Chain A
Amino acid sequence: MTTEELKSVAIAKSVDARGTACPGPLLEAKKAIGTISAGDVMEILSADEGTKVDIPKWCGKQGHEYLGTLEENGYFKVYMKKK
């Protein structure tokens, strides 16, 4: 997805994991994924650089679709769609 598309995508859930370092954001994402339905888009906020690489790996393993990452001031917004 392009930056513009990501900015306007409808989000079913936003997970704020900025208060935790690796492996915290992944853990928060795993806990939250059960609360959304298949096809829903989830946004994960993280201040941890590793997250933007780790979430795509997690998506790849679980079959979710990784949509992209937006860089904000001092943190990242990682987008993924549930399988």
Chain B
Amino acid sequence: MENSKEVTIEQLQMQIDELKNKITQLENSRKDQLAIAVVSGDMDKVLAAMVISIAAAAMDTQVKLFFSFWSLSALRDPKKNPKGKDFISKMFGMMLPKGKDKLKLSNMNMCGMGPLMIKMLMKKQNVMSLDQMFKEAGELGIEITVCEMSMGLMGFKKEEMIDYPNLRFAGAATFVADAGESAMQLFI
């Protein structure tokens, strides 16, 4: 009996150490953080991403957005005209929406009538505009990372991106790392 007790204490110590390690791992992997991969460039989808982000940030959840592919159009500043683009980049630049105000709807776009109507309704019902949402997001400390690869693919330049606090430029591994430590991950 005496013998078995000593073994138990040792084992307990080991088990406690093991548990401590596991808890540290778990705590690091489930931070109160939201990571969203924003891939769509439709007005409604970018809106959804921003509304969810702002609500999360208002609830003191850290928010990290990763903008990639079509969503990059939303980050273009219409007032900026970067020089030195090649022919295809210029073409892409012309064909894609220049800024968040020019985004299309994923449904009922109707050659631009849809977005106009939605914007009218949003104003009437006091929903923040995308412009206001990005401003609030910046003030709330929502982090935006721009996907370098898609920026290169579409021929966008860093100089034509909006002025946003701490806009980061990085690759997919950054999103994977951010998502890995977040309790919530979304793909929009």
A24 at the interface (CB under 8 A from B): yes
Contact with A along B45-58 (1 / 0, CB 8 A): 00000010011001
Residue from B60, B126, B127, B136 in contact with A27 in the complex, judged by beta carbons closer than 8 Å: B136
B59 at the interface (CB under 8 A from A): yes
B117 at the interface (CB under 8 A from A): no
Q: How far is the CB of B101 from chain A (nearest CB, A)?
A: 19
In chain A, positions 53-80 with a C-beta closer than 8 Å to chain B are: 54, 57-58, 61-62
Q: How far is the CB of A29 from chain B (nearest CB, A)?
A: 8
Bound complex: CA A40 to CA B140 (Å): 24
Residue from A21, A54, A58, A61 in contact with B125 in the complex, judged by beta carbons closer than 8 Å: A21
Query: Do A21 and B55 contact each other (CB < 8 Å), given the known contacts A27-B136, A62-B60?
Result: no
Binding site secondary structure of chain A: helix
Bound complex: CA A61 to CA B60 (Å): 9
Chain B residues near A58: list those with CB within 8 A.
58-59
Contact residues on A (Cβ < 8 Å of other chain), bracket: 10 to 19
Bound complex: CA A58 to CA B54 (Å): 13
Query: Do A62 and B58 contact each other (CB < 8 Å), given the known contacts A21-B125, A23-B51?
Result: no
A20 at the interface (CB under 8 A from B): yes
Binding site secondary structure of chain B: loop
Scoring B54, B59, B136 by chain A CB atoms within 10 A of each residue's CB, the highest score goes to B59
Closest residue of B by beta carbon distance from A47: B126
Bound complex: CA A26 to CA B56 (Å): 10
Closest residue of A by beta carbon distance from B60: A62
Binding site for A on B (CB under 8 A): 51, 54-55, 58-60, 125-128, 136, 140
Binding site for B on A (CB under 8 A): 19-24, 26-27, 29-30, 47, 54, 57-58, 61-62
Supplied contacts A24-B128, A47-B126, A58-B59, 16 more A-B pairs, CB within 8 Å? A19-B126, A20-B127, A21-B126, A21-B128, A22-B55, A23-B54, A24-B127, A26-B55, A26-B58, A27-B136, A30-B59, A30-B60, A54-B55, A57-B59, A61-B59, A61-B60
